[in-house]
Amino acid sequence: MTDRFRLTLAQLDPTVGDLSGNAAKARDAWAQAKAAGADMIAFPEMFITGYSTQDLVLKPAFHQAAMEQIDRLAAECSDGPALAIGGPFAERGRLYNAYHTCIGGKVVARALKHFLPNYNVFDEVRQFNRGAIQGPVSVNGLRIGSPICEDAWYRDVAETMVESGAQVLLVPNGSPYYRGKFPVRMNQMVARVIENEVPLVYLNMVGGQDDQAFDGGSFVLNPSGRLAVQLPVFDEAIVHVDFEQGPAGWVAVEGAKASFPTDIEQDYRAMVLTLRDYMRKTGFKKVLLGLSGGIDSAIVATIAADALGPQNVRCVMLPSEYTSQSSLDDAAAVAANLGCKLDTVSIVKPREAVSGALAHLFDGLPQDLTEENIQSRLRGLLLMAQSNKFGEMLLTTGNKSEVAVGYATIYGDMAGGYNPIKDMYKTRVFATCRWRNDNHRDWMLAPAGAVIPQQIIDKPPSAELRPDQRDDQSLPPYDILDGILEMLVDGEASVADCVAAGYDRATVKKIEHLIYVSEYKRFQSAPGTRLSKHAFWLDRRYPIVNRFRDDT
């Protein structure tokens, strides 16, 4: 009987739908495992297809092609370590989320996901059938059980596998990031270890997919619950982990333990990663954005420059007669600090043309929000024209506070292909700007230093759509607004809960109303990085037509 076993963990970034590309990544990693003398290499959940596929996995041509790709991979990797990889499995009209173990050129075992998540961003009850709990697979004398992601959050699957003889639990995951999630994962996995008294390997994928960031952070726990190995967050990594069998059973040999960044750094890294992968995986090379001289566009420009390199980010200033000189100067300073190109396109004459075209219809009516929105929509039109002409993807710059209450113009400043700060409240935008000015990491492609001028952080926010306009003329101060939004949106609190927390009832009711009537805007908004468990889109799904109001 073997007394030592080497397992290679492949914490990698697949691309949804790129079956051949994901298989090539797996082959390259398998070759590294073979060279390192590994007994087995493991990949994350649904690695061959990428994750999450949403309803794409229901397409028979797609899941059949994925299964065939796994069979080919097994045949090509027959003369070395066993290969365990996530992918779909269809049988007798039923489709499963499966984990395939390949040995000697064949798929010798499949674990089928038993508990299918159907909350937050997950719709697996819609996409897959529930599989029966499988026993462990034997690899070079070591019996390995594989609860797939959600399966490890309940004691049943792991317990059944250990009772069936599993000596190590290998948990493949497609677990997306939200702020503060890692301790939640760790606590759940420690519980499984304590209950079953066997080592546990938590293997997570990394990378961006649409709005979601997969943060990696894979780890290995010993039977005591003690951490043996910790992989980094947000980085691809191929790590070899050795297990030894002693009188008390199998244990993992202690290895490297990566340190963890702060929450604000992890959020920033998630925004950089998702934008970078969104561009790479959709085939775009360059972006443009409207740079207003305000804080939101400044942080989006910085995220874009860090993700893609300043040479691939073009900023456009679109001034009107209401644009202050300080905004022009601040926008120019941001672009210069980042090393991005800055172009200027005035909207004064286009606005005059549109106003003239509508004059016979609007004659005698007072100016109102209509005229303000014309400015924003002209900016959206001019930016989209440049996007079409130059093949640059347009970034939008609305923060979560604005997105929540509709303080943005549909078909105007909401126009674009991606919004990195969509799930970041305004108060956190300020904190993130300060953090980025004080910190630089090797994964950032823009220059170090105070790239966002202090005057942008300090000045009162304004849309500059009318003379002397300030955001706090239409909305409560952002510290109050964000406090209410965090309760109503993130906490699903009642109006009474907000009042009990010290907020003015009339203000809370106004914000509640704005949240509900802005649903149609969010329905048509660009995707953006998910940073919380209550991001707009898949996490929080409300009807557009909705007459409910909380009168508590």
**Model's pTM, two decimal places?**
0.95
**Cβ(153)–Cβ(181) below 8 Å:** no
| Domains contained in the chain, CATH given | 4-256 (3.60.110.10), 264-523 (3.40.50.620)
Q: So what's the pLDDT on residue 473?
A: 77
List the chain residues with pLDDT less than 50.
1
Question: For this structure, is 113 an active site residue?
Answer: yes
Pairing of strands 142-145, 168-173: parallel
Q: So what's the pLDDT on residue 248?
A: 86
Question: For this structure, is 341 an active site residue?
Answer: no
Chain centre distance of CA 296: 19
Pairing of strands 200-204, 219-221: antiparallel
Q: So what's the pLDDT on residue 16?
A: 98
**Helix 348-362, helix 369-390: angle, nearest 10:** 130
Q: So what's the pLDDT on residue 503?
A: 98
- Residue 151's closest CA among 126, 176, 132? 132
Question: Catalytic one among 77, 102, 113, 281?
Answer: 113
Read off the DSSP letter of residue 358: H
- Residue 446's closest CA among 338, 297, 332, 337? 338
**Cβ(514)–Cβ(476) below 8 Å:** no
Question: Catalytic one among 25, 45, 77, 486?
Answer: 45
Question: Catalytic one among 149, 315, 340, 498?
Answer: 149
Q: So what's the pLDDT on residue 460?
A: 83
Count of CA atoms in the C-beta half-sphere (13 A) of 39: 17
Chain centre distance of CA 331: 28
Question: For this structure, is 45 an active site residue?
Answer: yes
Q: How far apart are CA 12 and CA 173, in angstroms?
A: 11
Chain centre distance of CA 479: 25
Q: So what's the pLDDT on residue 464?
A: 67
